[in-house]
């Protein structure tokens, strides 16, 4: 993992660099904040460790600019002169921790270990929209709150696209919002089961295994044993399976003790318009424009639709409609089908040509991955085959782009009852 260290005192910068030798961290150490920003344009650092008082720019200003370049950056602020106001401002800007100088090197390394877990398995955003106006979702919310008071594994059962992973993220936020969280497709597990190093990284957090109906028979026993192992016994397990899926007996004994059903979108009509508005906000923000409001004619169309594709169908429809909608009002959805939309990319932030090309390529890769998962109806093995990737490579790239590993298909082949 890449770590950027910004410290203007040569002796202390060398001391911290030496302390990180032989660890998982690849350290770039600089004294000048402008040099740090230039380094960030070419390297996707996971962690920034910076002093508060720097030549030409404060550590707070560096954090502000660095987070603009990399919103997911983890940040540690150091200072021998930290005022409470500086610490509060650093936390507001997204710093994860503050280290008053001088500090113990063991405490420094322990803090980086915690950040490494959060880099590899970032917790869900506690502010992620959660719509639960319908009786079906209110009942599910009550069940999630009861489950959050226990350490029991939870199995989410429901149709593809209904939001099973969203429910797992909601449960994690209710249990321990600042702890690591990772989603792993069952189809990517081999006979050896989950990597023990990954389980150790997740200790105190949650692991969600999606699509357990796709779990290879040889992996079931390994997964069950991993749940009982040292690091596996110290994290919260959740999983998902479709409505007809049957778990192997040894896995059912562990994951089937608490089973929650996620209602399909057509069963929660009271949530539809509120959910639409929130998804519109997200889609419009991604396109760099204000979200249009829904006129009554568009609302009627949404309410009259059967929604065989669940939430994912709604999300794709809104993204497609925004591409061809001008003005501040959305009056109608010309086509509730999901034909292929043009590939439209946002303009990158102004910078070097190489940097802008990398940003465009990354944006294009994310859109292509989403489209491939949509065309595969959320079937990870089918999407991997179509893209010429291994399951694990596809899963990793989806995680790199923050794309949920479940519920990406629009399930067009199913008919609403």
Mean pLDDT of 169-182: 94
Distances (CA, A) of 86 to 12, 82, 207, 251, 356: 21, 6, 35, 50, 33
Q: What DSSP state is assigned to residue 295?
A: P
pLDDT of residue 413: 34
Summarize pLDDT for 224-236 with one digit per residue, the tens: 999 998 889 999 9
Question: Residue 97's beta-bridge partner residues?
Answer: 76
Q: Would you say residue 31 has pLDDT above 90?
A: yes
Structure tokens at 114: 């915690």
Range in 14-23, 270-279, 376-385, 387-396 the model is least confident about: 376-385
The residues, any chain, with a CB within 8 Å of residue 129's CB and separated by 6 or more, are 275, 278, 282
Is the domain defined by 135-263 classed in CATH 3.40.50.10800?
Answer: no
C-beta of residue 266 within 8 angstroms of C-beta of residue 305: no
| Domain-wise residue ranges, the chain | 2-120, 135-263, 268-400
Summarize pLDDT for 403-414 with one digit per residue, the tens: 766 544 433 333
Using only the alpha carbons of the chain, give its radius of gyration: 23
Mean pLDDT of 270-284: 92
User: Could you give the angle at which helices 269-287 and 310-323 cross, rounded to 10 degrees?
Assistant: 40
What are phi and psi for residue 83, nearest 5 degrees? -85, 150
Query: Would the CATH topology of 135-263 be identical to that of 268-400?
Result: no
**pTM to 2 decimals?**
0.71
DSSP-assigned letters across all residues of 309-348:
THHHHHHHHHHHHHHT--SSEE---S--S-PPPP---PPP
Superfamily of domain 2-120: Response regulator (3.40.50.2300)
Structure tokens at 379: 């079937």
CATH class of the structural domain 268-400 = mainly alpha
Give the count of beta carbons closer than 10 Å to the beta carbon of residue 417: 7
């Amino acid at each position: 993992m890449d770590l950027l260290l910004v410290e203007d005192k040569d002796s202390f910068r060398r001391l911290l660099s030496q302390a990180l030798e032989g660890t998982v961290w690849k350290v770039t150490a600089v004294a000048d904040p402008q040099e740090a920003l230039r380094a960030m344009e070419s390297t996707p650092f996971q962690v920034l460790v910076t002093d508060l008082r720097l030549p030409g720019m404060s550590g707070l200003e560096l954090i502000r600019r660095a987070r603009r370049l990399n919103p997911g950056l983890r940040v540690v602020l150091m200072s021998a002169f930290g005022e409470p106001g500086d610490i509060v401002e650093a936390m507001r800007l997204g710093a994860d921790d503050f280290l008053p100088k001088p500090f113990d090197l063991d405490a420094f390394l322990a803090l980086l270990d915690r950040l490494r877990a959060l880099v590899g398995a970032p917790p869900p955003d506690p502010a992620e929209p959660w719509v639960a106006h319908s009786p079906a979702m209110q009942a599910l919310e009550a069940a999630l709150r009861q489950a959050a008071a226990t350490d029991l594994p939870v199995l989410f059962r429901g149709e593809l696209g209904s939001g099973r992973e969203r429910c797992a993220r909601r449960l994690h936020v209710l249990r321990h919002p600042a702890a690591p969280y990772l989603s792993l497709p069952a189809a990517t597990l081999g006979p050896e089961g989950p990597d023990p190093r990954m389980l150790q990284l997740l200790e105190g957090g949650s692991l969600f295994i999606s699509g357990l109906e796709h779990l290879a028979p040889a992996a079931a026993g390994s997964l069950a044993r991993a749940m009982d192992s040292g690091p596996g016994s110290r994290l919260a397990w959740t999983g998902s399976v479709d409505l007809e899926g049957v778990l192997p007996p040894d896995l059912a004994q562990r994951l089937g003790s608490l089973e929650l059903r996620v209602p399909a979108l057509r069963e929660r009509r009271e949530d539809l318009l509120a959910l639409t508005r929130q998804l519109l906000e997200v889609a419009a923000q991604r396109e760099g424009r204000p979200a249009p409001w829904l006129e009554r004619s568009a609302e009627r169309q949404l309410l009259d639709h059967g929604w065989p594709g669940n939430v994912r169908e709604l999300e794709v429809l809104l993204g497609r409609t925004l591409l061809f909608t001008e003005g501040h009002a959305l009056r109608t959805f010309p086509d509730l089908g999901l034909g292929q939309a043009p590939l439209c990319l946002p303009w990158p932030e102004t910078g070097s040509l190489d940097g802008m090309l990398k940003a465009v390529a990354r944006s294009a890769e994310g859109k292509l991955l989403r489209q491939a998962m949509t065309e595969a109806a959320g079937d990870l093995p089918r999407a991997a085959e179509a893209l010429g990737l291994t399951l694990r490579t596809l899963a990793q790239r989806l995680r790199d782009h923050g794309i949920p590993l479940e519920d990406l298909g629009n399930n067009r082949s199913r008919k609403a009852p």
